[in-house]
Amino acid sequence: MIVSQAKREWRKRTNVALLATKLTDRIFSLIYRSEIDGLRALAVVPVILFHAGFDLFSGGFVGVDVFFVISGYLITTILIEDIENKRFSIVNFYERRARRILPALFFVMLVCIPFAWMWMIPSQMKDFSQSLVAVSLFASNILFWRESGYFDAAAEEKPLLHTWSLAVEEQYYVLFPIFLILAWRFGKNRVFWMIVVMAAISLMLSEWGWRNKATANFYLAPTRAWELFAGSIAAFIVQKQGVQKNNLLALIGLAAIVFSIFFYDENTPFPSVYALLPVFGVVLLVLYADKETYVAKLLTTKGIVGIGLISYSAYLWHQPLFAFARIQSVNEPGWLLFLVLSSISLLLAFLSWRYIEAPFRKKERISRNQIFILSFAGLAFFAAIGYFGHKSDGFSGRESMSVFSDLNYDNTNLGYARCNDELDSIEPKLNYCFRASDEIDNVLFGDSHADDKFHGIVQNVPSKGWMLIGNSSCPPLMNINVESADGTVCSERLDKIFKFLNGRSNIERVVLSFAHMYPLDTLIAADHIKRGFEATDRLLEDREGLANSPTEVFEIGLRRTISYLREKGVSVVLVIDIPELVVMPEDCLANKASCEFSRIDVLDRQKVHRDLLAAISRDYEDVVVFDSLDVFCGKEDDTCSILKNGRTLYRDSHHLSHFGSVEYG
């Protein structure tokens, strides 16, 4: 009997031990799965090769979406286990995230600063400084949303552009644990369905977003959240039933990701239902790629897992390397250089993983208090550098950057007062409304191509007082609906200006200055090309229905403006626009592009514009037309230049610098 009782006790303890072992193994398998590291490698390599410009990996950007799903899965798994075992601590959670994310990120940012100081012109340095602040506030996705599109050429020269995805994850890390712990009181099953509903809403929002607000849709968390929630949903399922073995479904998941990498491109709306393919592929791998499946065995090979382990650092390093290479190169770097830089990013990733990531994860080496102190100190340090870089216009006082000083432009620093009347107080407000004195008898009216000439005209043309009035991208056309290529709607602003002019009897002269591109069919300025503007994005519509083609609508609107001003007894001056450049002036100053251009080319590009103004001047003999081309070319010389006396006349590819404005006026 004693023997039997001993056997029963032994069996009981053995069963408990086996159960505990199984539970421990299950928990460990939920938190660490080597195939997940293999999946990270599958995510990071295509991202790197996509940013390197290899056309074969045209959809490599989906690697970011793969990372989102993985993050959602792992974080939710950890949180569920902590909550169910009553060991959840928000402080512990943020400590783990700080250890994981910040040390390597800080190191990469620190390394970027001296290269930015040496190689970036002030405008680039100002943008970089703003990104330092944004990264420190976990808001770089918001900054880059406001600045440019992800696929714009200008974005490729931003060393910290890729941190937008970190910001999305960080915003998720801040909010999701709080939601989960508050919602848990309703039961795990209901929490699961809450997440499903939120994911569906986010997906629908992204479908609306790519059609209406494409850049915001790409960068902002609300339209990306469903990808993270997809990982969270997978975590609930795996936590309940474990990882299943299904070779077919695992292969389908892998195929979905690979297909996206090779067949998607920058024209694929993202995120949208198209993103379901790679996201669903990751979910299938998470659910069904048991370690015995063919896919898991492939993903857990030593080399692939090794890349997966260093994937975070590799992601951090590749974009700065590529961006600085592009900044330093006259032309787009070749594929061989990008291949070398891709390899270097993996080497640097291994070093930073070995000597920065790994040590900071060990609590016995760096305590909780130390990690929090270092984190806050680092965030404050980079935010401070970024703030001073922004306030100093990209540290424009650097001796090595003095040649670029003319690229800085701000009419508000020249002593001109805002109008502070109905033009300023009534919405929509104008971009440009400045007075050189209290008494006004001359008005410069137009778009940004009037703003850049205002300073020079005030300095060079005698008058009781000059006033600048107008709005960016809004040519001075009466009774014309105008929507510019950058999305500016002009009609209300122009109506407000004409109403203002109608009530002023002391104005003797109005100078009309505007971009010549409006009546043309193409946009060739380097700025417009970089920002992805298309001529077809513009709208010119005659409210009275008397003209249809853009050129005809433009002409009839301009003639109405001139007739209106002449009827009021105001003399009119028309300005032939300055030449647009097919290169950026900073590339000229850095000897990366020629500073010269051809008078014949300018006359050819401006033919429609010049013919239009010539026809108007013939019909209205008292209308003066001012031709600015001699400022850049000389009267007898076909060769024109961006520079004069070693200084640049331009601040970008189609606006004057302050120096150029004075020379022009």
Categorize the per-residue pLDDT at 138 as very low, low, confident or very high, splitting at 50, 70 and 90. very high
DSSP 442: E
pLDDT tens by residue, 149-165? 665 656 789 999 999 99
pLDDT tens by residue, 100-120? 999 999 999 999 999 999 999
Give the DSSP H/E element, type plus range, for residue 294: helix 294-299
**Extended strands (E) in 500-589:** 509-513, 539-542, 571-576
CB neighbours (10 Å) of residue 189?
10
Residue 48: CA count within 13 A, CB half-sphere: 27
**pLDDT at res. 150:** 62
**How many residues are recorded in the chain?**
665
Cβ-based burial of 548 (10 A; exposed 0-12, middle 13-18, buried ≥19): exposed
Distance, in Å, from the CA atom of 406 to the CA atom of 121, rounded to the nearest integer, reads 11
For residue 54, what are the β-bridge partners? Answer: none
- pLDDT of 26 strictly over 70: no
How much is the average pLDDT of 324-336?
A: 88
Tell me the CA distances in angstroms from 373 to 92, 96, 381, one per residue in order.
Answer: 15, 14, 12
Query: What's the one-letter identity of residue 631?
Result: V
252: CB partners within 8 A, 6+ apart: 281, 284
Distance, in Å, from the CA atom of 592 to the CA atom of 521, rounded to the nearest integer, reads 29
Higher pLDDT, residue 22 or 285: 285
Of all residues in the chain, what percent carry a pLDDT higher than 70?
A: 93
Region for residue 473 given its phi and psi (left: phi exceeds 0; alpha: psi -120 to 50; beta: otherwise) = left
Query: What's the one-letter identity of residue 533?
Result: F
Distance, in Å, from the CA atom of 590 to the CA atom of 401, rounded to the nearest integer, reads 10
Distance, in Å, from the CA atom of 654 to the CA atom of 650, rounded to the nearest integer, reads 7
Residue 335: CA count within 13 A, CB half-sphere: 7
Categorize the per-residue pLDDT at 587 as very low, low, confident or very high, splitting at 50, 70 and 90. confident
Q: 359-363: long-range contacts at Cβ-Cβ below 8 A with a sequence spacing of 24 or more?
A: 360/99, 360/103, 361/99, 361/100
Give the residue among 105, 75, 80 at the shortest CA–CA distance from 174: 75
- pLDDT of 11 strictly over 80: no
**Extended strands (E) in 291-381:** none
Tokens of residue 265, six digits: 């491109």
Which residues in 460-486 are b (16+ Cβ under 10 Å) and which e? Answer: eeebeebbbbbbbbbbbbbbbbbbbbe
What is the signed CA dihedral for 72, 76, 78, 83, rounded to 10 degrees?
160
Residue with tokens 């008898």: 441
**pLDDT at res. 3:** 41
Give the range among 82-96, 217-231, 626-640 with minimum mean pLDDT.
626-640
Give the range among 134-148, 279-293, 478-492, 593-607 with minimum mean pLDDT.
478-492
pLDDT tens by residue, 456-498? 999 998 888 999 999 998 999 999 998 887 778 898 999 999 9
* pTM over the 0.85 mark: no
DSSP 66: H
**pLDDT at res. 628:** 82
Contact between residue 105 and residue 140 where contact means Cβ atoms under 8 Å apart: no
Three-class SS of 270-283 = CCCHHHHHHHHHHH
Distance, in Å, from the CA atom of 283 to the CA atom of 246, rounded to the nearest integer, reads 13
**pLDDT at res. 27:** 42
Tokens of residue 103, six digits: 């040390």
Contact between residue 475 and residue 482 where contact means Cβ atoms under 8 Å apart: yes
**Using only C-alpha atoms, what is the Rg of the chain?**
31
Q: Would you list the DSSP string of 605-631? A: HTHHHHHHHHHHHHHSTT-EEEE-HHH
Distance, in Å, from the CA atom of 581 to the CA atom of 640, rounded to the nearest integer, reads 11
**pLDDT at res. 149:** 60
Query: What's the one-letter identity of residue 352?
Result: S
Query: What's the one-letter identity of residue 17?
Result: A
Q: 609-614: long-range contacts at Cβ-Cβ below 8 A with a sequence spacing of 24 or more?
A: 609/516, 609/519, 609/520, 609/576, 609/577, 610/576, 612/519, 612/551, 612/554, 612/555, 612/558, 613/574, 613/576
Give the residue among 108, 72, 321 at the shortest CA–CA distance from 221: 72
**pLDDT at res. 287:** 97
Give the range among 136-145, 420-429, 532-541 with minimum mean pLDDT.
420-429
**pLDDT at res. 18:** 41
Cβ-based burial of 89 (10 A; exposed 0-12, middle 13-18, buried ≥19): exposed
- pLDDT of 19 strictly over 50: no
pLDDT tens by residue, 233-246? 999 999 999 999 99
pLDDT tens by residue, 115-135? 999 999 888 899 999 999 999
**pLDDT at res. 24:** 40
Tokens of residue 236, six digits: 């609930």
Query: What's the one-letter identity of residue 277?
Result: L
Average pLDDT of the chain, as a whole number: 89
Categorize the per-residue pLDDT at 1 as very low, low, confident or very high, splitting at 50, 70 and 90. very low
**pLDDT at res. 404:** 82
**Extended strands (E) in 465-615:** 466-470, 480-483, 509-513, 539-542, 571-576, 596-598
- pLDDT of 353 strictly over 50: yes
